[in-house]
Chain A
Amino acid sequence: MTEKALVRQFVSALTSKAQFIGTEVSNFHRSADIAAIMENGEVWVVECKLSAISKAIEQLQTHMMSADKVYLGLPKKRRNIATIDKINTAGFGLLEIDEQGELCEVIPAKLRETPTSHFKKVLMNNITAVSQ
C-alpha cells in the first residue's frame, strides 16, 4: 500500500462525519495529509503514515497550532509500543483503518483549547477552499 492509497482510505472513512474535508491542505509551511471540519464544528488534521512516524509527529506539532484535534493515521496493526508512547507523550490521537475501510479511534485525541481562533479560521478557510 502507498501513503496516497492510505490517505484515500481515511478520506472515504471520514467523509460521512465531516462537513468539509480536503487533502494536502495548507497549514503554515506544512501540507496536512487530511484536514476536515467535522459535523460538530471541530477541526481535525490527520497525518497518514506507513513509516517515519517521528516525521509525522513533527508535522502534527505544527497542526496543533490551528486544529482542535490532531491524529496520526496508520493502517491497522502497524503500531508498536514506541509509537504509542510517542503519541501519548505528544498528546495526539491515533486512528487506524483496516483493509475493509473500517475506522478505529485507538487513542482519542485531546481536544485542544485552540489558543487562537485566528489560526483555526485560516485553516478552516484552507479546508473549504480545497474541498470545493
Chain B
Amino acid sequence: MTKHIYHFNMHSEKKYFLGKEHINNYDLIGLNGNIVAHSPNAIAALISTTAKKYFIDPQTHIFQHDPHLLESNSRKPGEEDQIKYKTSVVKLAERHLGMPFYNVLQTNSRLSPESFKTESGDLENDLISESCDRVLDFQKSFIGNNLDEEERDLLGKDLPHPDFLIAPYFYISRSNTKEWLEINEAFYKAAKISQPNEQVFYALVVSKDAMDSFQDRIIESLKGLNLDGILLWIDGHQEEDLTSSQVECYIKLLKNLKSLGAPIYNSHAGYLSILLSHPALNLLQGLGHSMNYGEHRTVVPVGGGIPQAYFYLRKNHSRNKYVNAFNILSGKGWYGSVEEYLKNVCNCHKCQELIRLKGSAIEAFISYGETGEPTTIRRRNGTVVRISYPTGEAKDIAVRHYVNNKDLEFNSLNTKSFSELNDELKDVYNDLLKVADIKVIQHLDIWNASLTKLAEGR
C-alpha cells in the first residue's frame, strides 16, 4: 500500500495533523531539519500526540547553494548591512549538523564537492564519516530527546523513532553532476556503516534536465549501494505542467530506480504519481505533499506571488485557481443542485458539512472563494493596486477539502483498477474540453497517453 506522507512546514498547520477528522488520512510525517531545530519541543509533542511514523530531512543540500538564500528577511535597525542568517538554519547547522555545514555560515561561502576532498583530490573520509554520524544522530535521537520529562518516563524505552534515516545529500543538477554524485555515494556508504541496524534512505534530489540528460549516470552511481530506500525530489516537478517527453522521462527514471530493488518515495507528488503507485504498476511506494501545496517544490526557494484561493477539483486532479474551478462548475452547471455537486464536484466531509450549513451547493462553493477586506499595495513601478486575499476561513476549508480529496484519491488505488483510473483521465478531458481553459485540463490527456503506453509496455 502506498504510504501517504504529509509534510509539516508550519505550526499553524498542526490542526490538519491532529484530530479525528484527518488523523487517518496519512501514514508518515515529513519534517524539515530547520523547523525541527527551531522548535524542538513543539515538534516532539506533535510526533508524540499523533503517534505517527516520521522522518527528518536534514536538508544538507541547502549549504551547497548561495548562502544569500539562507539569509533572514527580518533585520533590526542598524543591522541592514550585516549578513543575518535565518535563526532556524543557524540552529540546525550550529547545534546539530556541525562542520562542514556550519562553516558555510561562518565563512559565507557555499559547500562544493571539493569541500569533501583533500588537496590531492581524494575523498576526506574522516570528515565524511564524522559529519555523517552527526547528521544521522540528529535524526535518530532528536524527537526522543526533546519530549518533556513526564512523557519520556511514560514511554520508557518506546521513545519515538524515525521510520528511516536520510544520509547527507546534495542536489544533482547539470553542473558538477559527477562530482556531487560521488559525494552522495560516499555519504550513503558512510551512513550504512554508521547505522547498520537502521533503514537509511538515499535522498535523490535532482533537476529535471539532469534527470533527462544524466539519468544513466545517476542510476550507475546508485547501483551497488544496496539502498534501503530512495526519497525522490525532482526540482519544480509540477506534474500538470509536464510535456509528454517529461512524463516519459519521469516514468523511465522510476522504472530504472525500481530495478535497484528499494522502495521509492516521491517527496513532492501529484496525481500522476498516485497513479504510478497503483498496485498494477507499483513504481512508487510513498508519496508526499503539504497542506494544499507542496505537490511540487523548487530546490532553491522562489518566493512571492499574491496569495489566492485554490480549489482542488478531483475531476482534473489539480489545485485550480478558484476562478478556473468556478468556470468549470459554472460551465457544467455542477452547483445547480446538491446532487450534481456531490456527484461531479466533491462529496468530501467538508463539502457535505458546508452544504448542510449554507443550505445549497452554490453557497457551499462560494465559501471557498471568500475574500477579506481589500488591501492596497504599491508596486515596484509605483502604481497602486487593490486586491483581496482569501479569508482565514476560506483557506482553512480549502485545506481540509484538499486533504480529504487526496485521501479519496489514495483510496481509489484499492477500489479501482489501473485501467479504470487511466480511462477516467481521458473521459474527464473530453467532458471538460468545451468549458475549461485548455491549460487546466491538458495534463489529463498527456498523462493518459503516457500511462497507456506504459501499460501496453511500449
- Is B371 in contact with chain A by the CB < 8 A criterion? yes
Given A61-B323, A65-B326, A126-B374, verify A25-B369 contact (CB < 8 Å).
Answer: no
Chain A residues touching B, majority SS: mixed
Q: How many inter-chain residue pairs (CB < 8 Å) link A and B? A: 59
Could you tell me if A31 and B385 are in contact, using CB atoms closer than 8 angstroms? yes
A116: CB under 8 A from chain B? yes
The answer to whether B385 and A28 have CB atoms under 8 Å apart is no
Type the 1/0 row for B342-377, where 1 means its CB is closer than 8 Å to any CB of A. 000000000000000000001100100101001100
Secondary structure at chain B's binding surface: helix, strand, loop or mixed?
mixed
Interface size of A by CB at 8 A reads: 21
CB-CB under 8 A from A126, the residues of chain B are: 374, 386, 388
Chain B residues whose CB sits within 8 angstroms of the CB of A25 once the complex forms: 386
B392 CB to nearest chain A CB (Å) = 15
Complex Cα distance, B437 from A61, in Å, reads 10
**Bound complex: CA of A26 vs CA of B308, how far in Å?**
13
**B306, CB-defined interface residue at 8 Å:** yes
Contact yes or no, A122 B371, CB < 8 A: yes
Minimum CB–CB distance for B415 against chain A, Å: 33
Q: With a CB–CB cut-off of 8 A, which chain A residues contact B335?
A: 115
Q: B residues engaging A (CB < 8 A)?
A: 306-309, 322-323, 326-327, 330, 335, 362-363, 366, 369, 371, 374-375, 383-389, 437
Other A-B pairs beyond A25-B386, A119-B369, 13, CB < 8 Å? A24-B383, A26-B388, A28-B322, A28-B323, A28-B369, A29-B306, A29-B371, A29-B389, A31-B385, A31-B386, A61-B327, A61-B437, A126-B388
* Subset of 15 A-B contacts with CB under 8 Å: A25-B386, A26-B374, A26-B375, A26-B386, A26-B387, A28-B323, A28-B369, A28-B387, A29-B309, A29-B387, A30-B387, A31-B386, A61-B437, A116-B366, A122-B371
User: Measuring CB to CB, which residues of chain A are less than 8 angstroms from any residue of chain B?
Assistant: 4, 24-31, 61-62, 64-65, 115-116, 118-119, 122, 126, 129-130
Q: Which 4 A-B pairs have the closest CB atoms?
A: A26-B374, A31-B385, A29-B308, A26-B386
